[in-house]
Chain A
């Protein structure tokens, strides 16, 4: 469950807010309560010296989060890059619905197409990068 949930949260965080809003509106959702109202703040992004060494603070990014719950005590969590609080709340609501026993349908209907769209965008960039792959030839001195 955890790994699946990590995956759908990553997909939802990258999705356009309007599409998430539409998905929530279309879902038959049982009552849900906001535990922590959506808020925007900062996440300090960390790196490692040399890529693998000691941790250091690279700089901050804006981020928004929201937590909701249902009558059965599940927690829906939304954490996204950027300042769209409404989107953070939509992610939290969807996270809650996706954990329900009938969440599989929602996954197929909402998460899968978003994931496919995001993967296609990634593949396009990777393909453009691959087209710029070079083979350098080293001239042997005196050869030219």
Chain B
């Protein structure tokens, strides 16, 4: 347990003044603008928004600048800011089938309606440092354009569901009830899938990535395929009571991953494919994939599979996915624990004195 202490104001002020100076770095180097961070470090901005669970690119850019690029610190800043704002409404569920698709790939079907769209991806790059980027002022050639296909881009998994080979994800008949929200009520277990998806959507990417990886290595195997990954803008609609219809308030970029997994069937259900689902703010493909793996792993009990790995344990995953909570509890160890430690020191000294005395006798 830590204790309250007083004093140190001058030292704290000096520390923060120095921090501000360090943050600025060499003053002969031009200062970063928020627009530069938003436009040129967009994936960092996306990650901060996803893990802060607050979509606002300008604020995320500010948080990154203030935190000197420390993503978890930036997430913390945005979470703290969020608590100052009232909740105006909840949106209608976003319709990812109507996404303005920038990227859409499937590892399960080569030919699919709408085609495979690579989008602005790092896949197929050689991961060689590009020293041309070190020289400033280079003009970027315009990306090529082509005529978009006429047809729709149906969800890949619906093609399987049409044949009865894939489980259907249908909404419950009655949707008048509230949607569970972990920002309003503390988590309790079993949490259920809506809360699991919320917790993972705001969870730490590294944590989910490691857990997803663990399922592939045998800690709760579930044999996934990347059924479909899609990325692009979706519109957000809000039901406005005084109007009686929903208003489209703007677009946000989302990444969605649907995994396809085996299910051998049971007494009531024939063998079919099941799915894991990942949906995150921004261009967060790695995280969306990891989330889909862990979502499917967490359905083990529902699907009658043995629970053997940490990724299948709802309480383990949900209790440790949040990086602000995790960081707070780990870092609280540096707060003054002087009294606790004095007690332990006394105890160890007493034990040693006793042992020495006994040895001497």
Any B CB within 8 A of the CB of A141? no
Size range of the interface on B? 35 or more
Any B CB within 8 A of the CB of A94? no
Contact code string A62-82 (vs B, CB < 8 Å = 1, else 0): 110101000000010101111
Q: List 25 A-B contacts (CB under 8 A).
A: A6-B247, A6-B248, A39-B86, A42-B82, A43-B91, A43-B236, A51-B258, A53-B169, A55-B175, A57-B194, A58-B201, A58-B279, A60-B54, A61-B56, A61-B252, A62-B56, A65-B88, A81-B250, A82-B250, A83-B59, A126-B148, A130-B145, A130-B148, A135-B116, A136-B110
Any A CB within 8 A of the CB of B286? no
A50 touches B258 (CB 8 A): yes
Min C-beta distance of A36 to chain B, whole Å: 9
Any A CB within 8 A of the CB of B115? yes
A77 touches B55 (CB 8 A): no
Nearest residue (CB) in B for A126 is B148
Number of interface residues of A (CB under 8 A): 56
Known contacts A58-B201, A61-B236, A127-B148; decide if A50 and B89 are in contact (CB<8 Å).
no
Known contacts A51-B277, A55-B171, A60-B55; decide if A80 and B110 are in contact (CB<8 Å).
no
Known contacts A6-B248, A126-B148; decide if A133 and B193 are in contact (CB<8 Å).
no
- In the complex, identify which listed stretch (B98-106, B131-139, B317-325) lies at the interface while the others stay far away: B98-106
Min C-beta distance of A114 to chain B, whole Å: 13
Q: How far is it, in angstroms, between the C-alpha of A51 and the C-alpha of B232 when the chains are bound?
A: 14
Any B CB within 8 A of the CB of A33? no
Nearest residue (CB) in A for B53 is A59
- From B55, B155, B175, A45 is in contact (CB under 8 Å) with B55
Determine the chain A residues whose CB is within 8 A of the CB of B243 once the complex forms.
75, 77
Q: How far is it, in angstroms, between the C-alpha of A58 and the C-alpha of B252 when the chains are bound?
A: 12
Any B CB within 8 A of the CB of A46? yes
Any A CB within 8 A of the CB of B96? yes
Determine the chain B residues whose CB is within 8 A of the CB of A134 once the complex forms.
115-118
Q: How far is it, in angstroms, between the C-alpha of A138 and the C-alpha of B110 when the chains are bound?
A: 8
User: Could you tell me which residues of chain B, from 125 to 178, have a CB within 8 Å of some CB in chain A?
Assistant: 143-149, 155, 157-158, 168-172, 175
Determine the chain B residues whose CB is within 8 A of the CB of A63 once the complex forms.
88-89, 238, 249
A58 touches B198 (CB 8 A): yes
Determine the chain A residues whose CB is within 8 A of the CB of B279 once the complex forms.
47, 58
Any A CB within 8 A of the CB of B38? no
Known contacts A13-B250, A41-B86; decide if A49 and B117 are in contact (CB<8 Å).
no
Known contacts A82-B250, A132-B119; decide if A48 and B169 are in contact (CB<8 Å).
yes
B145 touches A124 (CB 8 A): yes
Any A CB within 8 A of the CB of B275? yes
Known: A52-B169, A57-B182. 4 other contacts (CB 8 A): A6-B246, A13-B247, A55-B194, A61-B55
User: Could you tell me which residues of chain A, from 1 to 37, have a CB within 8 Å of some CB in chain B?
Assistant: 2, 6, 9-10, 13-14
Determine the chain A residues whose CB is within 8 A of the CB of B294 once the complex forms.
none
List the 7 closest pairs (A to B, CB-CB), nearest first.
A50-B169, A81-B250, A53-B169, A61-B55, A127-B145, A10-B248, A56-B194
Determine the chain A residues whose CB is within 8 A of the CB of B258 once the complex forms.
50-51
Q: How far is it, in angstroms, between the C-alpha of A125 and the C-alpha of B142 when the chains are bound?
A: 12
A130 touches B118 (CB 8 A): no
B56 touches A131 (CB 8 A): no
Known contacts A13-B250, A136-B110; decide if A54 and B235 are in contact (CB<8 Å).
no
Q: How far is it, in angstroms, between the C-alpha of A6 and the C-alpha of B246 when the chains are bound?
A: 8
Determine the chain B residues whose CB is within 8 A of the CB of A104 once the complex forms.
none
B90 touches A43 (CB 8 A): yes
Contact code string A103-144 (vs B, CB < 8 Å = 1, else 0): 000000000000000000011111111111111101000000
A58 touches B94 (CB 8 A): yes
A122 touches B100 (CB 8 A): yes
Nearest residue (CB) in B for A60 is B54
Min C-beta distance of B68 to chain A, whole Å: 23
B171 touches A53 (CB 8 A): yes
Q: How far is it, in angstroms, between the C-alpha of A128 and the C-alpha of B100 when the chains are bound?
A: 12
Any A CB within 8 A of the CB of B202? yes
Q: How far is it, in angstroms, between the C-alpha of A61 and the C-alpha of B195 when the chains are bound?
A: 18
A43 touches B248 (CB 8 A): no
B250 touches A52 (CB 8 A): no
Nearest residue (CB) in B for A80 is B249
Determine the chain B residues whose CB is within 8 A of the CB of A51 once the complex forms.
96-97, 155, 157, 169, 256, 258, 277
Min C-beta distance of B274 to chain A, whole Å: 10
Q: How far is it, in angstroms, between the C-alpha of A113 and the C-alpha of B114 when the chains are bound?
A: 30
